[in-house]
Amino acid sequence: MNLRECGRVSAEFRFYEELNDFLVPDRRKTAFRVPIDRGRSVKDAIESVGIPHTEVDLVLVDGASVAFGHVLRGGERVAVYPVFERLDIAPVVHLRPSPLREVRFVLDCHLGKLARHLRMAGFDSLWEVDYGDEEIVALSVAHKRVVLTRDKGLLKRRAVERGHFVRETQSERQFCEVVHEFQLERLLKPFTRCRVCNSMLREVSEESVRGRVPEKVRSAREDFTECPDCGRIFWQGTHYERLSRILRAAAAARRDQLFLTDQICQRSFPAKIEIESLTAASPTRSKRSLSSVSSSPVFKPKGGPRSPSSK
């Protein structure tokens, strides 16, 4: 135990899956204690170890699912999970807001290339090199946009409801990561939005681009689009082939991830896990089913005890 925690009231925390990316190495994939002096909200305790609340979808305190505002008093055992894409957790309290009808983004100043890739794929993505944190938060709240950032501190702001910490550092990999994270494969509308200014493109005739594109391009192509705001002309050139490759890579990465998830679930979690929860209305314990989730000290699996998962 950390010496600073000795003699202090604390709760035992265990973080799962990609949430471990935010922890220091000796705290990953294992339980550790977090100080809870004079009561502390779940959200505050989670963010105190470096994990933005936007990355969390489920928190179980002594087996019961709770909201971020739940106050810890010490002695609890807390399991924290990221978003569940393939698993049925309908009976418990989701901490992430409901999905947006239209996925729109606002990106920090370090993610310009990612913004262009997202626009290329048809997603409304605001980005400016001089965006400050306050402006990003304001745009996210006003327009219900998902914040994409490499700054964990930005995602810890109370006003930010939807956000994602981008883990990859190379822009094409970042694009694949975002497509996977938000399950965007079926929403792709390639080459319908300007990569430079984010406006929707419109089709224009071959004759209307005379003198605005090289003559050999105009004579060899029939399909042209134009940005109504910046006036740029687009056609299927070498950039189109490269960007098509990025889109195919994102779709392939998603298929591989889903296959891997299925294999892990089949090998490691063949049985359902029962969550024991206490409801405020009744002191009677009720059991809720959570399918295929790795077990932790706060879970009671069917068929007797199981060893903690290494995930």
pLDDT per position as a tens digit, 61-94: 998 999 999 999 999 999 999 876 444 444 566 5
What is the model's pLDDT at position 270?
A: 34
Q: How many residues belong to the chain?
A: 311
Domain boundaries of the chain, sorted by first residue:
3-96+272-301, 105-264
CATH superfamily assigned to domain 3-96+272-301: Beta-grasp domain (3.10.20.30)
CA distances from 124 to 19, 98, 252 (A): 27, 19, 23
Does the pLDDT of residue 254 top 90, yes or no?
A: no
pLDDT of 304 above 50: no
The average pLDDT across 37-58 equals 91
Q: Which of 42, 183, 19 is nearest to 99 (CA)?
A: 183
**Residue 238 pLDDT:** 64
pLDDT greater than 70 at residue 7: no
Section 163-174 average pLDDT: 93
Average pLDDT value for the chain:
77
Q: Could you give the angle at the alpha carbon of 166 between the alpha carbons of 46 and 186, nearest 5°?
A: 110
- How many percent of the chain have pLDDT more than 90? 45
Whole-number pLDDT of residue 111:
97
13 pairs with which residues across the strands? 32, 78
* Alpha-helical segments (H) within the chain: 42-48, 112-120, 133-143, 152-155, 171-181, 215-220, 238-268
Nearest CA to 52 among 98, 75, 18?
Answer: 18
pLDDT recorded at residue 80: 94
Q: Give the side-chain half-sphere CA count within 13 A for 229.
A: 9
| pLDDT category of residue 164 using cuts at 50, 70 and 90 | very high
- Residues 262-287 have pLDDT tens digits of 443 444 333 333 333 333 333 333 33
Only one residue has tokens 């925390």, namely 13
Give the predicted TM-score (pTM) of the model. 0.65
Cβ–Cβ contacts within 10 Å for residue 94, how many? 14
